[in-house]
Amino acid sequence: MILSNRYNFLYVHIAKTGGTSVRAALKSLQWRDPYYLAQWMCSRLSGLTGHRIASKLPRHSKIVCAQEMLPREFFLGLYKFAFVRNPWDLQVSSYHHLKRERPFLLEGRESFEAFTRWKLDPERPYQYHLDTAITPLTDYLVDLHGHLLTDYIGRYERLQEDWDHICKHLGIATPPLPHKRQATDRQKDYRSYYSSDLADLVGTYFKRDVDLLGYRFDPE
């Protein structure tokens, strides 16, 4: 999550939705923020204490965290935006990310179908931060009562177009979006990873994302 006092925005960073590129593009704006030094110091102090002093908004915070921590009028006046992604495509992206960087989590469930069924199994014992893609996208965008708090929801599928729209609204020159963390080990079409049963399972698990964000397994 990135908060800018100077440009009056709050960016909610949902994992695997192009956020690393967006964060990199916003980096130059952060240096111009009058509170950047204070934010940087709080971030470092939080890390030194094992994040026990609640002095920063973590990278993948839900918007409700900012709502609870910031003054009400200030929060309401921020331009709050996020990017989302087709939940079926997101599962494929997250699977390959874990396969590359945390392969021990896949032991005994190396295939995409086996791992996805296991991680979405409601009987699976809780395991902290197994996979950020388990969390419905809309959980990052709503308050405790399920009301949408974001002013603009961009789409990973049209990342550059929606990024241009956001920058125009903020009144800033559009910083270029660098290509970050592009996977080279996955098939391009996410649909090729799914059996019909598995596609239904993901659709049911992420039903609120499907309903509120309008995604479908087969967009055609």
Q: CA 57 to CA 35: how far, in whole Å?
A: 14
Say if residues 187 and 73 touch (Cβ distance below 8 Å). Answer: no
Comparing C-alpha atoms, which of 22, 3, 7 is closest to residue 159? 22
Sign, CA torsion 129/133/135/139: positive
Residue 98, token pair as written in the block: 């874990």
Which residue matches tokens 């909610």?
12
Give the burial string for 23-48 (b: 16+ CB within 10 Å, else e): bebbeebbeebeeeeebeebeeebee
- Domains in the chain with CATH codes: 2-213 (3.40.50)
What is the percentage of the chain residues whose pLDDT exceeds 70? 93
* Rounded distance between C-alpha atoms, residue 135 and residue 13, angstroms: 13
> What are the start-end ranges of the E strands in the chain?
2-4, 9-12, 79-84, 152-155
Q: What pLDDT digit, counting tens, does each position of 174-204 carry?
A: 888 887 656 656 778 999 999 999 999 999 9
Please name which of 101, 100, 94, 137 lies closest in space to residue 115, comparing C-alpha atoms. 94
Report the pLDDT value the prediction gives residue 33, as an integer from 0 to 100. Answer: 79
Residue ranges of the chain whose pLDDT lies below 70: 51, 53-56, 127-129, 180-185, 220
